[in-house]
Structure formats: structure tokens, C-alpha cells
């Protein structure tokens, strides 16, 4: 088994524009084992599926202590790099964010998503404030020489209906990506984008590896790769498909 630092290094190398790493998000040890057996090169949790699989809504409602237990169980099941969705860091202050990241890294996680929306509030953190939070997360991820992969997410596009996405929003995302890179981010995640021209513009303008998410209304995995994505996630879609199947089968059994 490779060391945590080796896994983090390998994971970073897998982010290649046009030849993206694919992360089919999981929610527990069983789903992680199933995805690992499919030929996956890394495993990623999603905050929404992890929360929903445990009876909680998304949005840091599932306690961090419990989310870390889930991650620890996954790590005992697989021998692949694991990146964890830490939402907005389970805290507003840079110090609280650093503590959350430190705890995740200490159990063996090699990377994490970190978003800029204000949990429990409205809107996004100002660029300057989010940059400070990223700097704190970066410092914690670098402790003990691990250099965990910090995937900085912006919720600009998730906060607006797809048909209302504008070029000005793309420019805002590019500005955030550049600030987040300077603060220490390793990747830039812009979930919710659907317009192919806007996606291509973002991928060309941002020097960080860009992460896109496949949803029912977005381009597919192949198209995202053609547009320049270096990382492709599936978010809560795998869990939602599974639970829909389960509900249908249960209804048939009880019908």
C-alpha cells in the first residue's frame, strides 16, 4: 500500500485537461468497494449522498465526526486515494476550517472539496474571505508533508438557474479561480455549468485543473473532457439512482 503522501501525489497527477480523472461519488464502504472494483483510480465521497444515506439533509447537517467515521470505514475497505467532500469546512473562521482539514488528513484522506457558499446563510463568501479560508486549509493539508489536494469549489452556477448563466458569471468564476490558486488551491470546481461555450472559456482561462459534474441536464463525461475538464464528478446522482431503484423494488414487493 502506498503512503498517504504517495497517494496524494498520484492523485494530483491524474488531473489532466482533456483526459480527466473520473470520480463516481460514493457514500459508504460498500459503495466505495463496488466503485473501486470497476477500475476506478480514486474514490470520492459526496456530502449529499453521505448525508442522505444516513438520514440527514445536505449542508453540513451530518456531523463532521460522523462523516469522518464514514471516511475511515471507506479507507479500511479500499486501497485507493480517497478525497472527501468537506462542504464549506464545517466552520466560518480560517481556524475552524484548518481544524476540519487537519482531522480529515489525519485519518488518511488525501484530498477534499472545499466550497465558497455560506452554509446556513445566503450567497458566497467574499473572494478575500474565502482566500483566507483556503490559505488555512492549505496549511493544514500540507502538515506532515502530505500535501493534500485542495479542490476549491465555487457555487456561482448552482445558485442560478442554468438558462440564466451569463458570461459575467463566468468572469466572476475566473476571478475566483485565480484568487483561490494564489491562496493555495490545487483544483477549481464549478458545478452546475451547462453551456458548452462557457465551460470551454472557463477551462482555457483557468490554469488550475477544472472539475465539472455530470448531472441529468449537463454535458456528458465525454463532452466535458473535450471542453478541457481535468476532473469529472458525479455528485449525488449515483445515490439518487440507487435509491430510486430501491424504492421501486420495495414498492413492487409490497404492492
Which residue is associated with the grid cell 420495495? 250
Q: What band does 2 get if pLDDT is binned at 50, 70 and 90?
A: confident
Give the pLDDT confidence score for residue 121 in this predicted structure: 87
pLDDT of residue 1 exceeding 80, the answer is no
The chain-wide mean pLDDT, for the chain, equals 97
3 state SS of 21:
strand
Give the pLDDT confidence score for residue 122 in this predicted structure: 87
Residue 184 in grid coordinates:
493555495
pTM of this structure: 0.96
Q: What b/e sequence results for 34-50 when a residue is b if at least 16 CB atoms lie within 10 Å of its CB, and e otherwise?
A: ebbeeebebbbbbbbbb
Cα separation of 153 and 160, whole Å? 15
Which residue is associated with the grid cell 469549489? 153
Displacement of CA 99 from its chain's centroid (Å): 18
3 state SS of 210:
strand
- Read off the pLDDT of residues 174-188 as tens digits, 9 standing for 90 and up: 999 999 999 999 999
- Read off the pLDDT of residues 215-237 as tens digits, 9 standing for 90 and up: 999 999 999 999 999 999 999 99
Cα separation of 213 and 194, whole Å? 10
How large is the average pLDDT for residues 69-90? 98
- Read off the pLDDT of residues 10-66 as tens digits, 9 standing for 90 and up: 999 999 999 999 999 999 999 999 999 999 999 999 999 999 999 999 999 999 999
Domains of the chain: 4-254 (3.20.20.60)
8 A C-beta contact, residue 178 and residue 152: no
Which residue is associated with the grid cell 503512503? 3
Name residues whose C-beta falls within 8 Å of residue 125's C-beta, 6 or more positions apart in sequence.
116, 117, 118, 133
Amino acid at each position: 500500500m502506498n503512503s498517504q503522501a504517495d497517494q496524494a501525489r498520484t492523485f494530483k497527477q491524474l488531473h489532466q485537461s482533456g483526459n480527466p480523472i473520473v470520480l463516481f461519488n460514493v457514500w459508504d464502504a460498500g459503495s466505495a468497494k463496488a466503485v473501486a472494483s470497476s477500475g476506478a483510480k480514486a474514490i470520492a465521497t459526496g456530502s449529499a449522498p453521505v448525508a442522505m444515506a444516513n438520514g440527514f439533509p445536505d449542508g453540513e447537517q451530518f456531523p463532521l465526526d460522523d462523516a469522518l467515521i464514514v471516511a475511515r470505514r471507506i479507507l479500511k475497505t479500499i486501497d485507493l486515494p480517497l478525497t472527501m467532500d468537506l462542504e464549506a469546512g464545517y466552520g466560518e473562521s480560517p481556524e475552524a476550517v484548518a481544524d476540519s482539514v487537519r482531522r480529515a488528513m489525519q485519518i488518511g484522506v488525501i484530498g477534499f472539496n472545499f466550497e465558497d457558499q455560506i452554509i446556513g446563510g445566503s450567497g458566497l463568501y467574499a473572494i478575500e474571505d474565502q482566500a483566507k479560508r483556503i490559505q488555512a486549509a492549505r496549511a493544514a493539508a500540507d502538515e506532515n508533508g502530505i500535501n493534500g489536494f485542495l479542490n476549491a469549489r465555487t457555487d456561482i452556477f448552482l445558485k442560478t438557474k442554468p438558462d440564466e448563466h451569463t458570461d459575467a458569471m463566468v468572469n466572476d468564476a475566473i476571478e475566483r479561480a485565480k484568487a483561490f490558486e494564489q491562496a493555495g488551491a490545487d483544483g477549481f470546481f464549478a458545478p452546475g455549468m451547462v453551456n458548452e461555450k462557457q465551460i470551454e472559456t472557463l477551462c482555457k482561462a483557468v490554469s488550475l485543473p477544472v472539475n465539472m459534474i455530470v448531472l441529468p441536464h449537463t454535458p456528458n463525461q465525454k463532452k466535458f473532457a473535450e471542453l478541457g475538464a481535468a476532473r469529472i464528478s458525479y455528485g449525488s446522482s449515483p445515490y439518487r439512482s440507487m435509491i430510486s431503484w430501491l424504492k421501486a423494488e420495495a414498492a413492487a414487493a409490497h404492492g
